[in-house]
Amino acid sequence: MVFRRFLSVVGFLSVIAAGYAQDVSFQGSAKSTVSIGESFTLTYTLNSQGGDFRGPRLNGFDVISGPFTSTSSSIQSVNGRTTMSVRYSFQYILQANKEGTFDIPPATVTVDRRTITSNSLTIKVVRNAASQSGGNTGQSQGNSQQQGNVQSNPNDVMLKAYVSNNNPLQGEGISVTYKIFTKVPVSQIMFSKEPSFPGFWSQNLTKEKEKLQQYNQVIDGQQYIVADLRKYTLFPLKSGKLTIEPLELVCQAQIKRQSKSRTGDPFFDDFFNDSFFNTSYTPVEKSLRASLLIINVRPLPASGVPGDYAGAVGNFNFHTEIDRTKVKTNEAINLKCVVSGEGNLQLIDKLNITFPPDFETYDPKISNDIRSSEKGVSGSQVFEYLIIPRKPGKFTLKPISFSFYDLKKMKYITLTSPEYTIDVEKGSGEGANVTYTGANHEEIKYIGSDIRHIKNQVFALSTGGDYFFGSIAFILWLILPLAVFVTFVLLFRKFSERRSDVVLMKNLRATKVARKRLRKAEIYFKEQKQLEFYVEISQALWGYLSDKFSLPIAELSIDTVRQTLINKEVGEELIQNFLDTLNNTEYARFAPGEKSVNMERIYNEALAVISRIERELR
């Protein structure tokens, strides 16, 4: 019996020794051909237990994740012969980033203190590897586990830019939209570079923190989920070929990762390699960049350009309003000019208006109501001018013109306002002899006549040889600052000494503190808070005596109050009134009767008695 057990142990150890005695194999495998931007798996398989794995230098590829380590083992018994195999896998998920042929040098691993080197790999990166992909190089056969085949395609996630018009006129509005197309779930979208628009006036139509609206779209027979990431309205400021720098972003794409394992049993291999059991998702970082946009901006026609044309392009209406045409001198007139319609309204910043030289004018107040959408920019721009006539008479405000290039009629259009006649009557006071035009009053014009009036006012005369330096006034002005400084120092010292006298300061603020407490009591009276009211009245009366006569609160009593007031030569009747008020305050808290009436009576008595004592002590 013991001999049989010995033989069993020796047989089992022989099986294990046979498994470890086999030749050590360390093989690398990957797809031989991949596309630019495609994610794929690089796997190194070892058929023995090892450690200290050192991966190769991966030039020309981005390492998305890895290396991952996994282990598989199997024991087979055929016709009484038992074999065991153990396999270790080291796996990378890579992404091709440029076209070319790249050599991946061998990796190394340590087995039983020996360094084992794998085979090298050659991977060809092409623009589209759909028809060129071949089998995996150096793929191990037999009982093995193939880990993590990442099923990624460069077209799984795309970023594209769309422009409404590649060939606009200078000043014509266009829209640019950046859209993301995805066939896999994406998250954590971060914009690494915003687009730039040199040569354009731009406005972002995308609302911050607004949830992206998603919809479906079919491209080349493939259905994508689409979302608009950015929308811009652009107005070209010059002609020629203008470049729009692209939008760039980084996001996390959930890529399918499917593993296949082989155990030697066909039933288990087919069952567990089914996609239902064997598919997982791996987050893969995707860097996306939209295409560069070249906009060919056509110049506006050079013929027929109006003299007052300032760059407006679109379809506009123009009208003016004046609040009155009959005024007196120095009275203000409001002139409103309104430009409305569709086009580059924001770029209209001034109008060509000539006012009579007898009018004082200011830069206009500009307000707008502009709406931007994918269809364009529309709304109105309002210019309000304040004009003030300085001389009486009849003045003509010539028609105001506004010119723009009409995109529908493809020609320049000039709109004019009616002519206004302004009757200015002489107001109170004389008008000024000069008028100022412009907000900064930098331009000065003489008005009224071409001859300036002779000044006939009385001039101040002074005696010749009489100088201010050395005079009595000069000496007094020298002495005055010193006298002011000395006075300030003396007053400051006196004020400091007075504030250091604690008894005096308490005496001075006694009435102030008492009135403050009475005001607080009045608030409690209005809120009908009886307890708080009587507490404030009592503290106002006792506190007034304590501060006024420098008596500690603990020493105050009816007798000390009476004696103190007698010493201060306060009348006997007033002393009795003060003591009665103190007693009534305590009695009223618990006395029956109308609460509001008692509180009002006590408040009036306290206020009156403090005021009377203050007058007698003066």
Q: Are 508 and 618 in contact (CB under 8 A)?
A: no
Q: Are residues 173 and 100 in the same domain?
A: no
Phi, psi of 198 (to 5 degrees): -65, 135
Q: Give the pLDDT score at 20.
A: 44
Average confidence (pLDDT) per 10 residues, the chain, 618 residues:
52 48 79 84 85 85 76 64 72 83 91 88 79 41 42 76 92 92 86 91 80 84 89 92 92 68 51 50 80 93 89 92 91 92 87 87 88 82 91 90 92 92 81 46 48 64 70 86 89 73 57 78 82 81 77 74 78 80 74 67 81 74
Instruction: Count the neighbouring beta carbons within 10 Å of the beta carbon of residue 82.
Output: 15
Q: Determine the Cα–Cα distance for residues 587 and 570; give it in Å rounded to an integer.
A: 25
Q: Are residues 106 and 45 in the same domain?
A: yes
Total residues belonging to the chain: 618
Q: Are residues 133 and 168 in the same domain?
A: no
Residue 9 lies in a domain: no
Tracing tokens 């996994």 back to the chain, one arrives at 70
Full domain range(s) for residue 44 = 15-148
Task: Provide the domain count of the chain.
Answer: 4
In CATH, what number is assigned to the domain containing residue 118? 2.60.40.10
Q: Are 605 and 581 in contact (CB under 8 A)?
A: yes
Q: Are residues 326 and 279 in the same domain?
A: no
Q: Are 330 and 435 in contact (CB under 8 A)?
A: no
Tracing tokens 């259905």 back to the chain, one arrives at 223
Q: Are residues 127 and 49 in the same domain?
A: yes
Q: Are residues 57 and 102 in the same domain?
A: yes
Q: Write out the two tokens for 178.
A: 């950046």
| DSSP assigned state of 551 | -
User: What is the DSSP track for 303-337?
Assistant: TT--TT--S-EEEEEEEEEES-SEEETT--EEEEE
pTM as predicted? 0.47
404: nearest Cα among 472, 358, 351: 351
Cis peptide before 246 (omega within 30 of 0): no
Q: Write out the two tokens for 330.
A: 């120095």
Q: Give the pLDDT score at 542.
A: 79
∠209-215-217 over CA atoms, to 5°? 135
366: nearest Cα among 352, 344, 346: 346
Q: Determine the Cα–Cα distance for residues 69 and 92; give it in Å rounded to an integer.
A: 9
Estimate to the nearest angstrom the gap between the alpha carbon of 145 and the chain centroid. Answer: 52
Q: Determine the Cα–Cα distance for residues 507 and 505; give it in Å rounded to an integer.
A: 5
Residue 1 lies in a domain: no
Estimate to the nearest angstrom the gap between the alpha carbon of 69 and the chain centroid. Answer: 45
In terms of C-beta density within 10 A (0-12 exposed, 13-18 middle, 19 or more buried), how is residue 362 classed? middle
* Helix axes of 558-567 and 530-549: crossing angle, nearest 10 degrees: 40
In CATH, what number is assigned to the domain containing residue 203? 2.60.40
In CATH, what number is assigned to the domain containing residue 405? 2.60.40.740
Residue 464 lies in a domain: no
Q: Are residues 137 and 166 in the same domain?
A: no
Instruction: Count the neighbouring beta carbons within 10 Å of the beta carbon of residue 503.
Output: 10
Q: How big, in percent rounded to 5, are the helix, strand and coil portions of the chain?
A: 25, 40, 35
Report H helices in 202-282: 266-272, 275-278
Q: Are residues 233 and 363 in the same domain?
A: no
Residue 172 lies in a domain: yes
Q: Domain end: 401, 422, 446, which one?
A: 446
Q: Give the pLDDT score at 498.
A: 64
| DSSP assigned state of 554 | G
Q: Are residues 332 and 267 in the same domain?
A: no
Q: Are 380 and 369 in contact (CB under 8 A)?
A: yes
Q: Determine the Cα–Cα distance for residues 344 and 365; give it in Å rounded to an integer.
A: 19
Residue 339 lies in a domain: yes
